[in-house]
Structures are given as C-alpha cells and as structure tokens.
Homo-oligomer: A and B are copies of this chain.
Amino acid sequence: MPRPEGRPTSADVARASGVSRTTVSYVLNGTPGTTISPATRRRVLDAAERLGYAPSAAARALRRGRSDLVLVVLPDWPLGPVLDELLDRLAGELAARDLQVLVHHGRGRRRLADLWREVAPRTVVGLTAFAADEVRDMRRAGIEVVGARLDEDRHDPTAYAVPQQRIGAMQVEHLVARGRRRVAWAGSTDPRVADFATRRLEGVAAACAAAGLPEPLVAALDLEVASGAAAARAWRAAGVDAVAAYNDEVALAALAGLRAEGLDVPGDVAVVGVDDVPAARLVGPGLTTVHQSVEAQAAHLVAATLHALDGAGLPPAPEEVLHLVVRGTT
C-alpha cells in the first residue's frame, strides 16, 4: 500500500516485498556482481510496479554526487531551424550515453547561477557566451562547461563558434565579384540579435575596405514593407547597387521595399541574405544567401560536449560551416 501522502519510497517497496532496501536497490538498479534469486527479484519488481515506485532523483543525485543532466543554455535570440536541429542532434547523441538534455532559454542573467545550482547538471553547454567568473563558479562546483563564443576567439579550444565576421565578408566578396561597387548593410531592429549583427557588419566593412570600396551605408530594417521601402529610397539616393542583409528575413524586407520603390533586382540592386531558410528558394527571384551547415555545427558541438564529458578527442574547428548559395537576386 502506498503511504497516504506523497510518493512511495524504496522502504515501501522493501516492506511490500519483504526484503531490505539494499535488495530493492540491487534489483531495481541491476547492480552487477550481486546474485538475487529470481523469486526475490520478481517480488521486488512486482511491488515496485504495483506501488508506482520511482526513485527520488534528488536523493540519488545527493548520494551519487552528480546528476545525469546536461543543461543547454540558449541565448536570448529567436529560435530557428538551426537551433532546433542543433538541439536535436545533441540530445540524440547524449541520450546514447544516458544523459538527459534540458534547455534553459536564457533570459535574465541573474537566474543562471540559481539554475545550475538547482539542477546540478553534469555539464553546462552554453550557446551563449558565459562571463569568466560564471565559468569559474561552475567549474568549482564540479560542473563541466562547454562555452560558446560570438567571435573568432579560439583561445579556448572547446569554444563553439561560427565566424560571424566571415559571414559578412563572404557576402561582400560575392557582391564585388558580381561587379558591385556601392554596398549597403541592412541590419535588424531586433535588439536580441545585436551582437551577431555587429560582428557581421564588421566583416562587411572590412571586406569593403579590402576591396577599395567606400564604407557600407548602414540601415536597420523592420520586417515590414514600409521599412524596406524607406531603406530603398535611401539606397537609391546614395547610388547603392548591392545590399548585404543581416539574414534572409531582413533580405525579404529589403526585396519588398525595393519592389515597392520600383527598383529592379538584380538589375538595379543585388541582394544577399544569410541562413538559407526555405523561403529563400521559394520566392521569385530566388534569394542568394550564405548557408550555415547545421551538420558541421552540430558535429562540432557534440564533439566539444563529449570532450568535456569524458575527455574524448577535441573536434577540429568547423571551418567548412559556411558556403554561398547563388540564386536570382545577385
């Protein structure tokens, strides 16, 4: 009989099956090196099933000194298919090692410290960058940390990074190869992506300088036709013949604005995005864009995590993550 209040414990199972808690633990955990008679084993299993017994994770974690959780901390940017796939791959890979992946959507820095103390995960995987003292605290608590970097800093070999500046540079290099000379940057008004946008713009500016072009004209777009149209008027006034957009959605807003202003793409202005979302190949003309290989990123992230977990070999940096997909807009 379950106790009137609360969940049953191993003591309840022991009582119900007439054995000690030791035996219950041995049977339920399949502890190797023990020899429990089949009859006893049956009785214990039956009792556990009948009572709906589930071991207390808190007690188990306390006793074992660690949990079987991997905490993934997401940055405060919009979710998308890339992240989706990344988490999926990571969870699958870790499940094979009996680790559970739990995701924290990282709004609010303050809460993070509470959180990792609360769940006491084996490893924390940050898709956002951690402060140095945060990393110190976690390591001190015996938690492995796999970090993310927004930039190309490679000092920490486990750091997971997509070279954001390279993305911007690739956009400009392609536009220059197409003979464009006056480049505009179409950024985002979403504050959550500001870090990324800044890096990409740095890459755009550097590539313009390297090609002897003037500094890029900078604008931030909403995902609205009117916003794109306003930008398009400024571009026409400045003689812009090429637009590098923060991502494909912003590129779509730019395209809508150019269309509304009667400018021809790619005749008057070429446009290149980032992400290669499905819409990029479905609109007409198709959107030229920088594709990020989820496979390569996921493989790197998984490898870095396994490295932190059990000292598996470090993965090579994912150099082959980016490639350009050329379509009708350039």
Contacts and interface: CB of A to CB of B under 8 A. Distances in A.
A88 interface: yes
A157 interface: no
Contacts of A84: 78-79
A40 interface: no
Contacts of A259: 284
Contacts of A279: 249, 252, 279, 283
A55 interface: yes
A245 to B, nearest CB: 12
Contacts of A117: 54-57
Contact of A62 (B58, B83, B284): B58
Contacts of A282: 223, 225, 228, 249, 252-253, 255-256
Contacts of A119: 57, 69, 102, 119
Contacts of A30: none
Interface in A98-130: 100-105, 107-108, 111, 113-115, 117-120
A278 interface: yes
B87 A105 contact: yes
Contacts of A56: 62, 117, 120
A140 interface: yes
Nearest to A259: B284
A12 B256 CA distance: 64
Interface string A223-235: 1110010000000
A316 interface: no
Nearest to A249: B278
Tally of this chain's copies? 2
A5 to B, nearest CB: 9
Give the residue among A62, A95, A108 with the most B Cβ atoms within 10 A.
A62
A224 B57 contact: no
A58 B61 contact: yes
Contacts of A108: 95
B103 A67 contact: no
Contact of A2 (B55, B88, B118, B140): B140
A243 to B, nearest CB: 14
A103 B100 contact: no
Contacts of A173: none
A237 interface: no
Identify the 7 closest CB pairs spanning chains A and B, nearest first: A58-B61, A223-B278, A58-B62, A252-B282, A103-B103, A57-B118, A79-B84
22 contacts: A2-B140, A6-B65, A7-B140, A7-B142, A52-B136, A52-B140, A54-B117, A56-B62, A56-B120, A57-B118, A57-B120, A58-B120, A69-B119, A78-B84, A79-B79, A79-B84, A87-B105, A91-B107, A100-B104, A102-B102, A223-B278, A256-B282
